[in-house]
Amino acid sequence: MLNKRFSERLNKELDNIGAPESSAERIEVLSKLVKIPKFKAEALLNGATSPDEKLLNALAQEFEVSADWLVGKSDKSDSSH
């Protein structure tokens, strides 16, 4: 399931930037990082939804990874082509 893979990889990237482990704090960090409502950040982190293309690209750019890797379509996290 792509939502689960996306959620795992999104959480991994938050770990990499030193985001707190608490769910509420992670939601806050993600919400501020890409300027989305907290309910949407929570749904993304929990794998309840997938990002639209615009948000996916913003996340990939913010974390310096490829969009395909974030959603599980590629095993290469490198954003260079």
Q: How many domains does the chain have?
A: 1
Query: What range defines the domain where residue 32 resides?
Result: 2-70
Answer positive or negative: Cα dihedral of 2, 44, 21, 78. positive
Q: Is residue 8 part of a domain?
A: yes
The model's pLDDT over 3-29, given as tens digits with 9 standing for 90+, comes to 899 999 999 999 999 999 999 999 999
Q: Global pTM?
A: 0.89
- Kindly state whether residue 80 falls inside one of the protein's structural domains: no
> Does 18 reside within a domain?
yes
Domain membership of residue 11 (yes or no) is yes
Q: Would you say residue 76 lies in a domain?
A: no
Residues 6+ apart with CB under 8 A from 36: 30, 44, 55
Residue 78 falls within a domain, yes or no? Answer: no
Residue 18 half-sphere exposure, CB side, CA atoms within 13 Å? 0
Take residue 8 and report the two structure tokens written for it: 């795992």
Mean pLDDT in residue range 47-65: 95
Token code pair at residue 56: 């996916």
CATH number for the domain harbouring residue 42 = 1.10.260.40
